[in-house]
Structure 1
Amino acid sequence: MVRRFGVFAAVLLLLGAFGSAARADEGRITLTIYKGGWVIGGSGGSGTLNFHGKRYPLSIGGLSYGLVFGGSKAQLAGRVSNIRSPRDVAGVYGAVGAGAAVGVGARAIVLRNEKGAVLELSGSQVGLIADLDLSGLAIGFK
């Protein structure tokens, strides 16, 4: 009897884990991010989340610390996954990254926030910037 209950409980846990993953959804996102600094850097910009046929305007801000020199503008687009509602996109995204752009360059990044939302972004970056830093990017709704 105890063994059957244990197996039953394990099956319920597995179904719950798969069920919550199955309910997670995805959308499309575009971001324009301006970044600049000297050792301490800042970033800001705007974007749009497209989710279930609706558009949600976004605001972006952030700080970085490390080796940051110069300024750039990145235009990124991609997928946001593991969300259940548009509100899951809002939050703080962390990344440790390195990059450089002189003139026009390509940029690709994967970020995750505290709610589990995952951004997979790629696009172009224009400017003169070199960075090897710890970055935090905050996304909110306008």
Structure 2
Amino acid sequence: MMLSTRIRSVAIAVIAAGAVSLAGAAHADSGTIRFAVYKAAFFVGGSGGEGTLTFQGRRYPISIAGVSGGLAFGVSKTYFQGTVRHIRRARDVTGVYAAVGGGGAVGRGAQMIILKNDKGAQLELTGKQVGLQVNADLSGMAITVK
């Protein structure tokens, strides 16, 4: 009898915890993001740019800053666009995003990347790159909602 009461209590606790986590996920929303990034590198690189986050029918200006290190050289401009997932408010996009990757472009090239920040915001981006850029590096990007 005592065992079935404990099992029932544990089952109720698990169901309640699951309901709370689903309720939190249900309130998360998504938006779109579009920005341009200029990048210059010779082993250590820097990047910067700006763009727009569209979330719940409103547009928010954003700024981009970044650094990279590794095998990287060249100058390029990349136009990114995509979806932002798992955010509850526009400010959830603010944060640092890291990536390890490689690629290159002579003239024109294409990129696709998925990034996450510490608040759980996930960026699913595609981009078109123009310029001369070769890289195999670790890079970080900070996005700020103005």
Structure 2 residue runs without a partner (length 5+): none
The count of corresponding residues between Structure 1 and Structure 2 is 142
Contact in 1 for aligned 2:72/2:135 (Cα 8 Å): yes
Tell me which structure has the larger Cα radius of gyration: 2
1:112 aligns with 2:108: no
Deviations 1:40-63 (A, max 9, x none): 000100010000111000000010
Task: Please state how far the C-alpha of 1:141 moved relative to its aligned partner.
Answer: 2.2
Which amino acid in the other structure matches residue 106 of structure 1? A
| Alpha-carbon separation, structure 1, partners of 2:47 and 2:127 | 17
Q: 2:17 is matched with which residue?
A: 13
Structure 1 unmatched ranges of 5 or more: none
Residue 91 of structure 1, CA deviation: 0.3
RMSD: 0.8
Trace 1:84-103 onto structure 2 (pairs within 5 A): 84-103=88-107
Residues 70-89 of structure 1: CA distance to partner in whole angstroms, max 9, x if unpaired?
Answer: 01000010100000000100
| TM-score, normalised relative to structure 1 | 0.97
- Aligned sequence identity (%): 51
Match of 2:61 in 1: 57
List structure 1 segments (4+ residues) > 4 angstroms apart after TM superposition. none
Inter-partner Cα distance in structure 2 for 1:107 and 1:32: 13
Q: Distance in 1 between matches of 2:11 and 2:113?
A: 41
